[in-house]
Amino acid sequence: MAVQIHPTAIVDDGAMIGDGTKIWHFCHIQTGAQIGQNCSLGQNVNVANDVRIGNGVKIQNNVSVYKGVELEDWVFCGPSCVFTNDLTPRAKYPKGEAGYLHTPVRTGASIGANATIVCGHEIGEWAMIGAGAVVTTDVPAHALMLGVPARQAGWVCECGKILVEELNGRCICPECSRRYRHTPSGLVRDDEPSRCYLSDTALKDA
């Protein structure tokens, strides 16, 4: 499928856009940005230079994805949600790129309308950030985060439904019957291996 770019959008030289992606009115895609296949960028979306966006990502109107933010596959960004990339900005004392913090949003995560993601925190796979929430900590995989500052209010399925805790400590989706188990980094499907963030060297030394 061909890329669709509205005539009012600006795509700088050096930006890469995957097949089937649609870019709507008044967007700006800056040099070095990489956008995957079958994405949708709504009106007035800005993607900063060198930002990486995976496949199947949906970014609603009025969202700026600043350098330091990374969106993996199937991420959803609701209207006017906010990313930051500098914890202590000063107009008089700019740090430049050296001061930008990495903010990864993992596969399948959803960020609600008007939510704010403070930089330097990881949003886990398939997490759900409620509308208007302000995220100031790392978010476990499949966590439901609500409020200001955001606090965990439950767990959500890959399909988006709130999970039910079973007596055996597992979680089950009342809609699609997917089952999950707890790990240190959040929930994983019962048919998936546990995540391990130790390096190969650390594992050999253990």
**pLDDT, tens digit, 9 for 90 and up, residues 153-165:** 999 999 999 999 9
**What percentage of residues in the chain have a pLDDT greater than 90?**
88
CATH of 4-161, one of 3.90.1150.10, 2.160.10.10, 3.90.79.10, 1.10.357.10: 2.160.10.10
Q: What is the pLDDT of residue 122?
A: 98
Enumerate the domain spans of the chain.
4-161
- Secondary structure string (H, E, C) spanning the chain: CCCEECCCCEECCCCEECCCCEECCCCEECCCCEECCCCEECCCCEECCCCEECCCCEECCCCEECCCEEECCCCEECCCCEECCCCCCCCCCCCHHHHCCCEEECCCCEECCCCEECCCCCECCCCEECCCCEECCCECECEEEECCCCEEEEEECCCCCECEECCCCCEECCCCCCEEEEECCEEEECCCCCCCCCCHHHHHHC
Confidence of residue 205 (pLDDT cuts 50, 70, 90): very low
Instruction: With a cut of 50, say whether residue 18 has pLDDT above it.
Output: yes
Q: What is the pLDDT of residues 53-104, one digit of tens each?
A: 999 999 999 999 999 999 999 999 999 999 999 999 999 999 989 899 999 9
